[in-house]
Structures are given as structure tokens and as C-alpha cells.
Amino acid sequence: MKRRSVVMGGALFFLLAAGGALFLYWTLHPALSVIDPVTPMPDDTVSIVGRNFGEAPGELLFDGIPLPEHAIQSWSPTYISFKMPNDVDSAIVRVRTAFGASNPLMLASSLKVPKAAESQGAPEFRPNITGTKPTANLQIGKSIVISGSHFGEPEENAAIFFPKVPSISALETEDPGNFIRIESATPLVDSWRDTSIAVHVPDGVESGYVFVKTKNGLSNTYPVSFSRSPGKTWRGDASKYVIEQKVILHVMASLPDGRLLLFLPKPAATQNQTAETNIESGGDHLGADRENWQEYRFDQQDASKSRLEIVRQFIVDASEIRADINVNSIQGVGSEPPAFLAPYLAADALVPSEDETIVSAAGAIQKKEKNPFRQVALAAQWVFSNIRLNEADQSLSADVLQALKNKSGNMRALALIDCALLRALGIPAKPVSGFLVTGDMRLIPHYWGEYYLLGIGWIPFDPALATGNVPSGVVPGFPERLTYYRGIDSKHIAMGRGYQPLPPVQPDAQKKAKIPWSFFEYDELSQGLSYTSIWEPPTLLPAAPL
């Protein structure tokens, strides 16, 4: 028996050692995924995408011989660019670091590759990228100018695609899951001309390739390299939820042109949440289906029915998300922020960033601290120290300005005040409404926010949990509450982000706000119709495992 135990122990030790060796090999040994182009001209820029290249340059080997240092343009852990030598016909390319040499990839000079005879057909008008400025070390939120030809004018089919998977080859441009699509008319695009595009780098990009799409087709792919020096966001543990929401209506009477419109929120699409909305009952009353809401219509014909019901199910995949922030590298957006951030710096119907109390508090914080990330923490501390939280109040009638005046308000008011203070500090911010999942799997309305840092992008945070104001029944997902200054856990389900305008209301129409888990100005709009409505609290249903 003793000998058998020794043998089993030795086998276990061997397996652990082998597993550890494989783990170290995967995490440290350099590996090449893509080289592009594989047939460059002399002096062309060639890009290599892979992993474990190291922060400091190692050696780029051509048939085992290191390429001169002056030929290497950029070097990062996942991306290398270099000038194609004039004296190379073909070569086996490897990267060598302190942890060994990578797998090989083949490279050949375009001058030595046979070419097919050119067609004498119609001229080619597909878009073509010839360069970018800057050429490397791009950052999220900052501008990149893409030069080339045949980009055309901004139109419905025109878009630029950024990589969101680090090792994308030119052969995978048709897979939309690999890229972030930026439409030509979105606020991220500063200008779109036939020979140049100026666009701000979106959230979630990785080093790889960009390309342009127009009505005439796809452009060539062009290598881009992004810097993570300010920090980056990353997703952690995920949870899957199935939520059922029910609205019950009793219509008593209606005028000939009487009508009732219900506006029901849909779960928000965020960097850490995906969702699907299914109509289980009442789909025949669906009048409009938008990105953030659905509209259901009822009229005189429905007055004869004693009971009407809308039942929807949301299938939500929510992940925890955190930001690793290099605090000393953070820069503010400046006095002239880009257009895509301007709405999140100005006052709106929800966020009173121009209120005198808010402006005064922002000035006091700015005297103490200039760093935007540290200002985020000071803003939350100011709000939850100066405004008493009334956790029992779930009303929608509580005015944010009234909460400032009374120095007391509900969670909704305090979250909006926090976002107002961030905007007054010059930090783009948007409020988020939704639910927290309690320890016994209930849903309670909750509010948090997102702020924007150049070089990192939008960062969700929960000022209440960060300051220790935990709602009753909630078990925080992060053991260290300060983590909530730079992330949220998978127990947050977002239903609305920022001010969400609905269709304009006619003067004789009556509007009602019924639910505390959205930022809609109204949820019901009635005209000439007598009815009652019950919005049942959303409930969690058993979900299939991820």
C-alpha cells in the first residue's frame, strides 16, 4: 500500500509539473499568429500579431539571423511592425525572447511572387487605405486619421471597422464578431472625405487591422497598434439571468379616438452585458420596437376586454467588469472635448450639472485634486456625505434639485447628483438604471453610473457600493468596496443608460411614470381612455447555466 501511495504521489507530481510547464509555455513563450502582408514590397511596413513578445524588444529573426534594430518600427507584447528589407527574397520569420523562439511564419518579397495578368475591365473603385496618423501607440478616445482613396461620402453603407480580437488576419474581415463597426455618420467620426477619415478610437479595440467598407466593397486591411499605458478594462465572472416582467391592464371605457400607449424599457447593451427580449404575451399590441424601448398600443376595440396582459422575458448575460488604471497617466478631455463626449458633459433633463450647489462642490474638489480618477472618488464621497440616503424611498417624484436643497434623497437622486458633479468636473458621465440581484435572488431597483477616461473608455462604477452604502439584502460581489470605483460585479443588470427621450406628448394627453427602474420621462401615455394598470415587479426565473 505504501509503495502504491508513493507511485501515485509521483504520478501526481509529474502531472502537476507537466501542467505547470505547459502553463508557463503558453503565458511566456512567444507565438506568432499573423504576418501581413505576407508578400510585401521592399521598404513596405510589415505587421506581426501574436503574443508574449515582451515589453522590451527581443530579436526578429529572418532565417535565424536577427533583423537590424533600425528596421524595427514598433514592438509591444502582441504587435511588431518593421520595414521589409531590400535584400530579402523570402525568409522564415521568428521572434526570439528570453523565453525562446516562436513558431515560424513565411514571408516573401512581392517582387519574387508571380503575378496574374491584369484585366482590362472596368476601373477599381473599392476603398483603399494607404496610411494612418499616428502610425502606432493609438489610444481609446483619441483621433486617428486614415488616409487613402475612394472612401466616398458618409452614407448608410459606409463604415470603418476596428479589431476587438488581437490576432485577426486579413482573411477574417467578413466575421462581424471580430470587429467594432463605426458608422460614417456617428459622433465618433469627425470627418469622412474621399481621401481621408478622421475618427476617434472606440472602446474595446485591440491591436490588429482596420478596414473600410463602402457601397463599392471592402478596402484592404491596414495594421494598427494601440497603447494601453493609461490602463484597460477587462471582463471577469459572468452570470446569466432570465427575467419576467408583466403588465396587467383593465380598460373600462374609451372615446371613439381613445388610446393608450405603454413604453416598456429593454435591457441596455453595454460593454459587459448582452440581452435578448422575448414577448410571451401581448405581442399583437406591439407598435414599435426600438433599441432601448418597445411601444404597445391599445384603443377603443380593447375597451370591451376585461383584462389585457403584456408578458416579456429578458435573457441577460452580465459580466463583472473592472478597469486597471495607471492613475498617473490619466489625462482630462480638455476644454474642447470631442463631439461624441459633449452630451455627457452638459446638463440635461436628468443630470443638473449647472446647478449652483453642484458647480460649487466641483470647484472645491478641483482645488484638492487635479487627477480625473481621484476626482471620481472624491465626487462620490461628497454626494454620500452631504446628501442623506433615504433607502426606503423608491418614488419617481423625488426631484434631484429638491434632494440637493433638502440634503436628502433616494438612490436614484443620489446617482444623478453624482453624475452631475462629475460632468461639472469635466469628466464625461452617464447614469445607469436597472437592478441589483440580492443574495436570495430577488431584483431590487438600483442606480449607478459610467465615467469616461481617455485611453481607457467608459468605466462602469457604483458610487453607493464604493462608499459603503449597500442596499438591504445585497451581498456585494467585490470583497473590497473600493473596487466599485473602477468596476461593477455581475449582479448589476442595466435597463437604461442616460437620458432616453420618447416621442413628444400632445397637450391633451396624460402621462404617468410607473416604474423606478428606467430613466423614461413617462411609461404610460393615455388620451380619452379610462383604465387601470398594474406593473408587477420583475422576477428572476431559473436560468440555464452559461
Question: What are 82-135's pLDDT values in tens digits?
Answer: 888 888 888 889 999 998 998 888 888 877 655 544 444 445 688 999 999 988
**Given this model, what pLDDT does residue 86 score?**
86
What number is the average pLDDT over the span 374-391? 94
Tell me which residue of 414, 150, 80, 430 sits closest to 271, measured CA to CA.
430
Q: What is the mean pLDDT of the chain?
A: 87
Whether residue 19 has pLDDT greater than 80: no
Query: CB–CB of 497/432 below 8 Å?
Result: yes
**Torsion sign over Cα 480, 481, 484, 485:** negative
Dist CA 100 CA 79 (whole Å)? 17
pLDDT of residue 7: 43
List the Cα angle 374/380/386 in 5-degree steps: 130
The percent of residues in the chain predicted with pLDDT above 70, rounded, is 89
Tell me, what's the pLDDT at 3? 47
pLDDT in tens, 205-258: 988 889 999 999 989 888 888 888 899 999 999 999 999 999 999 988 888 888
Instruction: Determine which of 234-238, 295-299, 357-361, 516-520 has the lowest per-residue pLDDT on average.
Output: 516-520
**Average pLDDT, stretch 347-373?**
95
**Torsion over CA: 345, 347, 350, 353 (sign):** positive
Q: How far apart are CA 480 and CA 492, in angstroms?
A: 17
Question: What was the pLDDT predicted at 9?
Answer: 52
Grid coordinates representing 521 are 420621462
In angstroms, what CA-CA distances link 223 with 81, 88, 311? 9, 21, 48
Q: What CA–CA distance (Å, rounded) separates 96 from 77?
A: 12
Residue 2: the pLDDT is: 47
Higher pLDDT, residue 108 or 65: 65
Burial 416-432 (b: 16+ CB within 10 A, else e): bbbbbbbbbbbbbbbbb
Note the pLDDT tens digit of each residue in 147-193: 999 999 999 889 999 988 775 555 455 566 788 999 999 999 999 99
The pLDDT-based confidence of 415 (bands split at 50, 70, 90) is very high
Alpha-carbon span 456 to 233, nearest angstrom: 7
pLDDT of residue 172: 56
How many other CB atoms sit within 10 Å of the CB of residue 540? 16
Residues 6 or more apart whose CB falls under 8 angstroms from that of 49 comprise: 32, 33, 34, 35, 36, 78, 79, 166, 167, 168, 169, 207, 208, 223
